[in-house]
Structure 1
């Protein structure tokens, strides 16, 4: 096996892309199949010298931005983008055996985790696996997101709902930002060769097109684990929420908690859940 799989992969893909596919004139007397190094470097916005070092294995630490630019320039498929990330991980010293030993894909939450989440009632909180399946939730979470259609299927999934249900787009005034965050979680929190990520990515590329695929291809965006989120709720009206993400790395899961950012939202959530006034207290906006 080559000790320069990243460089071999890049060179192979460069030679497989025709100038026409990259939007370049074919020219004459081309001595190499596909793109010249100078052409790929220009398309990706990097120097020819740096691309040469990557292909020859003399530089094994490309940034996420460089990988994303190369993937775009080479017109890589989703599956090839996952392979590029894996080769980059191994090139910078990651052990592929260790990478493969990531927590298994799960569709249930441990009893202790469910018990902890239940203690967060009446706050809207849920346990998610790495592809966004909802494994457990509080009643508060169900009453907040149920009217948006999230639980209309037997296996509710945040990403699938966001990209395929029109009610989700209407509910989030900052839909693009929510989409950026959820796709970044999918891409960055899972092992690079996770078949479940690849399967969901292929599905959403078919159903949502470029809105999903372009985000999935952008390696430079990292997930935000805290922040503000506004929801135009069909029953409770406008809601200003804070969210916190608690990672469970040994399980390949995370706990997502929403809290009211102001008193009006706290009162609206109380009415939505049917609880007494003051059951949820406003936390204040994130900085």
Structure 2
């Protein structure tokens, strides 16, 4: 990460955060010790982060710092991008879908259906899925579930958030690099709303069930596709 961008950002946010007392102070904002106490880390470690001698903090540490500094959603995204910019490599792209998988999706129209990667990336979908999913420009179901728009789209948001976090945890535990990378991202950008669910995930997400998307009540089935990539087909049937 060039020029210690992460350290400069953390220090700037610390100095811009109102201190707990109103007495006369030599330095603006929070002292390092005050921020360290709030985030549950040592002053020495915070000093290394701000000085750039440690540039690989865990998602848990960054989430704690973001909470302690009352970062906005945009600031949390920027914090994650600073870490991502300093990463040595990017996750490998998923393997391409077979033509027969695309043909299968065509035959499923007008049913809502999508092929997902283990990390929840939408690799292909029917027009009906794109119409009712609420994703917009987002291409990942898990990231969308922890976006500001998700609670308005999912009336049963808690249920869906639990399932999406469990799905990501299962993929990451099996060594899926994109899933682990997304979990790290969401630990920063979504904070405790994601990490509490991710850490508590003790079972696999349901392979079948019912979800509500907006005004749509949908029964779903998850089917695994043969071949590399551990891709799965999700099919959503409208319930009347």
TM over 0.5: yes
Structure 2 equivalent of residue 25 of structure 1: 21
> Unaligned regions of 5+ residues in structure 2, if any?
170-177
- Equivalenced residue count is 209
Contact 1:228/1:241 (<8 A) preserved? no
Match for residue 177 of structure 1 among 162, 171, 184: 162
CA offsets 1:239-267 (integer angstroms, 9 cap, x no match): 68556699x99xxxx954248xxxxxxxx
TM-score, normalising length: structure 2: 0.58
2:97 is equivalent to residue 85 of structure 1: no
Distance 1:153 1:177, change over 3 A: closer
**What is the aligned counterpart of 2:125 among 136, 139, 155?**
136
Q: Which runs of 5+ in 1 are unaligned?
A: 104-109, 193-211, 260-268, 274-287
Q: Are 2:206 and 1:228 equivalent residues in the alignment?
A: yes
Change (3 A) 1:162 1:85: closer
What RMSD, in angstroms, separates the aligned Cα atoms of the two structures? 5.4
Bigger radius of gyration among the two: 1
Q: Which residue of 1 aligns with 2:6?
A: 6
Distance 2:137 2:3 in 1: 42
Aligned partners of 1:18 and 1:34 also within 8 Å: yes
Q: What does 1:112-191 align with in structure 2 at a 5 Å threshold?
A: 112-113=97-98, 115-119=100-104, 125-127=113-115, 135-137=124-126, 150=132, 159=144, 162-165=150-153, 168-169=154-155, 174-178=159-163, 180=165, 188-189=181-182
* Aligned equivalents of 2:231, 2:31: Cα separation in 1: 47
- TM-score normalised per structure 1: 0.50
Larger RCO, structure (CA 8 Å, separation 6 or more) = 2
